[in-house]
Structure 1
Amino acid sequence: MQSEAFRDIAHVGSVELFTPVPERTRDFFVDLMALKEVHREGGSIYLHSWDDYEAYTIKITARESAGVGRTYLRTSSPQALERRIAAIEAAGLGGGWSEKEFGLGPVYLFTDPDGHDMGLYYETERYVAPAEHRPSLKNQASAFPGRGANVRRLDHVNYLAADVPSVSSFVADVLGARATERIVTDAGETAAIWYSVSDKSYDLVYTSDWLGARGRLHHVAFATDTREDILRAADVFLEAGVHIETGPHKHAIQQTFFLYVWEPGGNRIELCNAGARLVLAPDWEVVTWTQAERAKGQAWGLKTIESFHTHGTPVI
């Protein structure tokens, strides 16, 4: 059943990545993924994907170890922001306000039950392209870059969690997201679950951490326009010496065409194209996959590579 709070969160706005090699991580996203650097502040580098309407898409912050920093979620209205804050505070996970976030108005800070940092906001700064990147079509944020992977926008974040059922309850009941697909073990426990806050089939994903650790990252995904963009990106990464972990191929779950690589800091990055698959049914029933079904591999038979179940950041 869809929560009455569904759509209080409009979309995932941006995400912060920690990396021990910030300049190399920056060059990966700028030179190979076609993002643009738009700002530097306090040891962080802010990058913008070409059709993101907000001031930036990803924040790169220098840390000793790779991993995920804060994920920023934009609400659909000031009233929706107030409702979600009340729910978060009732859950005992609120962290107060920040007034110093680049490109954003006041941000309400909180953590999910697994310790991942997040922030809710409504007020945001719109991206205004400089003259050299002004688009020919006024309904896109910036000129089409025509290089590298040409990623259009941030698509989703996949977190590792020690207790997926506990986090799932929070994401559904407190944030108001709806589950679309999940993996259930033979013991009946949820091992991974995909959540949507919009008509997209998923925006936030939680996967069981095989080490039982908290607050780690599985991957951050960026959307391309076409499958062909991903095929070309594979050649771009190959020539650049980037570690290609798996793909290009098609997932069985969510039917996403994918390519996984590791950026220089060690974080797993996905390039994805979900095509025209949307979840429009207000009474959508969660699709459940068993361990046996997942053991068959991906949609076209590719077996899931071992590192997909053993690599997360920070590395332990």
Structure 2
Amino acid sequence: MNDISHLAHVEILTNKFEESLDFFTRVYGLSESGRDATSVYLRAWDDYEFCTLKLTRSETTGVAHIAYRASSPEALERRIKVIEGMGCAEGWIDGDLSHGPAFQFRSPAGHLFEIYYETKRYQAEGAEKPALKNVAQRYHARGAAPRRIDHLNILAPVVEDIETFMTTALGSKVTEKIVLDDGRLAGCWFTVNNKTYDLACTCDFTGVPARFHHVTYATDQREDILRAADIFLENGVHIETGPHKHAVQGTFFLYVWEPAGNRVELANAGARLILDPDWEPVIWTESDRKKGQAWGLKTISSFHTHGTPPAPAPSDE
């Protein structure tokens, strides 16, 4: 479990590049660290790495790749041997503006993952230097101003395959899961450290592979999310659901769609930690989930159908 340190960054595709960039910087409140011919590298004010969200110009939407950072060069090599033995390896790439060489591999649902060790740390300069030495950047309070990347949610036709993939390839621990009455997994939550989760996988009932549900950044407190709701409202951002509290994992949440249609969440996600070395996954049943979220808000239908890229419309059959 200690070979992988943390979720590092997510590359998101957008077919409305300038509109998406304006959302993520001016409205959502991330900062630009750099850019190349096709991508802008973004981060929250207390992310230590150069990039936690890579926004890439594309003709489609969704997630291009998901990156984790290994805890050491030796740990990276150990993980690579396991991944090669699984038969899902894609091989090495040179890296980009934010990190060094990375080893890529694919999930059973087609999502592209990578792990690396050599990274580029963000160095705050000039007006971005913080007053305190123990934060990465000054708190600018621009837009919703989240503190750090927290997790993402991917979609897969068979969640059981992703459970095996994550626990084997990355050494992740399962913290919570949803088991339907027929025995199938509807959702599974994973962590590589003592956070409650850094990646979730929920069932894609469309059957389309490699789709993306959402990416989440963490705030310091619930009031930050209430403030963000007003900011999104004033800027014409589609608020899908929330603010409210999840039953699974207990996070206080707000979901919106950025201009290209990718789902983005803000969550107050830092309260719960998994410190118990003998932790057993919490099992939620189908009847549990039909009760709705923690305070009774019913899960809206688009949460089970909307993902990126969009799925084809179902046929009459």
Superposition TM-score, scaled by structure 2 size: 0.97
Q: Which residue of the other structure, out of 49, 52, 56, is the alignment partner of 1:57?
A: 52
SS in 1 for 2:67: strand
What is the match of residue 259 of structure 2? Answer: 264
Q: Which residue of the other structure, out of 80, 88, 95, is the alignment partner of 2:83?
A: 88
SS in 1 for 2:6: strand
User: 1:133-152 CA distances to partner (integer Å, 9 max, x unpaired)?
Assistant: 10000111000012321101
Q: Is the 8 A contact 1:7 1:177 kept in 2?
A: no
Q: Which residue of the other structure, out of 198, 214, 220, is the alignment partner of 2:215?
A: 220
Q: Is the 8 A contact 1:127 1:141 kept in 2?
A: yes
Between the two proteins, what is the percent identity of the paired residues?
Answer: 54
Q: How far apart are 1:207 and its partner, in Å?
A: 0.6
Higher mean C-alpha displacement, 191-200 vs 34-43: 34-43
What is the match of residue 182 of structure 2? Answer: 187
Q: Distance in 1 between matches of 2:272 and 2:9?
A: 22
Higher mean C-alpha displacement, 169-178 vs 239-248: 169-178
SS in 1 for 2:229: helix
What stretches of structure 1 of length at least 5 have no aligned partner?
1-5
Letter of the 2:44 partner, please give it: S
What is the match of residue 170 of structure 2? Answer: 175
What is the match of residue 146 of structure 2? Answer: 151
Q: Distance in 2 between matches of 1:152 and 1:294?
A: 30
Q: How far apart are 1:64 and its partner, in Å?
A: 1.4
Q: Distance in 1 between matches of 2:169 and 2:298?
A: 36
What is the match of residue 286 of structure 1? Answer: 281
Q: Which residue of the other structure, out of 3, 11, 23, is the alignment partner of 1:8?
A: 3
Higher mean C-alpha displacement, 298-307 vs 273-282: 273-282
What is the match of residue 303 of structure 1? Answer: 298
Determine if the alignment matches structure 1 residue 231 to structure 2 residue 226: yes
What stretches of structure 2 of length at least 5 have no aligned partner?
312-317
Determine if the alignment matches structure 1 residue 27 to structure 2 residue 22: yes
SS in 2 for 1:25: helix
Determine if the alignment matches structure 1 residue 141 to structure 2 residue 153: no
Letter of the 2:15 partner, please give it: P
Letter of the 2:286 partner, please give it: Q
Q: Distance in 1 between matches of 2:79 and 2:153?
A: 21
SS in 2 for 1:255: coil
Q: Which residue of the other structure, out of 120, 124, 127, is the alignment partner of 1:129?
A: 124
Q: Distance in 2 between matches of 1:68 and 1:173?
A: 22
SS in 1 for 2:170: coil
Q: Is the 8 A contact 2:218 2:270 kept in 1?
A: no
Determine if the alignment matches structure 1 residue 253 to structure 2 residue 248: yes
SS in 2 for 1:254: coil
What is the match of residue 315 of structure 2? Answer: none
Q: Is the 8 A contact 1:182 1:287 kept in 2?
A: yes
SS in 2 for 1:146: coil
Q: How far apart are 1:315 and its partner, in Å?
A: 0.2
- CA root-mean-square deviation: 0.9
Q: Distance in 2 between matches of 1:52 and 1:20?
A: 26
Q: Is the 8 A contact 1:157 1:204 kept in 2?
A: yes
User: 1:8-44 CA distances to partner (integer Å, 9 max, x unpaired)?
Assistant: 1110101000010111111111111211112111311
SS in 2 for 1:284: coil
Q: Is the 8 A contact 1:101 1:107 kept in 2?
A: no
What is the match of residue 110 of structure 2? Answer: 115
Letter of the 2:204 partner, please give it: D
Distance 1:213 1:68, change over 3 A: same
User: 1:227-280 CA distances to partner (integer Å, 9 max, x unpaired)?
Assistant: 000000000000000000000000000000000000001000010012421010
SS in 1 for 2:155: strand
Q: Distance in 1 between matches of 2:219 and 2:28?
A: 10
Letter of the 2:103 partner, please give it: Y
SS in 1 for 2:249: helix
Q: Distance in 1 between matches of 2:248 and 2:206?
A: 23
Superposition TM-score, scaled by structure 1 size: 0.97
Q: Distance in 2 between matches of 1:15 and 1:275?
A: 20
SS in 2 for 1:199: coil
